[in-house]
Each structure stands twice: as structure tokens, then as C-alpha cells.
Amino acid sequence: MQATHRPIKGAERRTKNRFNEHTLVEVRRSINTGSWILFESVEKDDKGRFAKWAGWIAVSEVERIEG
């Protein structure tokens, strides 16, 4: 069972837009602070090699959904 994430109600517009524009999966959490999560989109580039979007989003902006 893989957990998914979604922006919290009070998240910044930028964070909400990333989740609306892409299907994001968690890649890893920051090691030093634990306050950031690296996400990447499951959609690939035109050559099918790389995620169309990847970036760090603050843990405080997202909630984890089990199921």
C-alpha cells in the first residue's frame, strides 16, 4: 500500500498548483531538517526518460494519506 499526499487547506497557491498540474510521488525527505519532501511527477518528458516536474515542497504544506 502506497501513501499519497495532497496539499493542506492553507497551503500556498504554488503548492496547490503543483498538485493540480501533476501526479506527484514522494521521492525522499530532506536528511538534515526533515522539513522538505522531494516530489516528482509520474508523467515523463517527451523522450520518456525524466519526470516533467521535480522539486522540494515543505512538509508543513502537505498531508499524507494512507490507503
CB-CB contact of 27 with 20 (8 Å): no
User: From the CA atom positions of the chain, what is the Rg in Å?
Assistant: 12
User: E strand or H helix at 13, and its extent?
Assistant: helix 13-21
pLDDT bucket at 2, cuts 50 / 70 / 90: low
* Poorest-pLDDT segment among 16-25, 29-38, 52-61: 29-38
**Closest to 51 (Cα-Cα) out of 60, 59, 61, 43:** 43
**Closest to 52 (Cα-Cα) out of 15, 13, 19, 22:** 22
pTM: 0.83
pLDDT bucket at 1, cuts 50 / 70 / 90: very low
Provide mean pLDDT across the span 34-60: 92
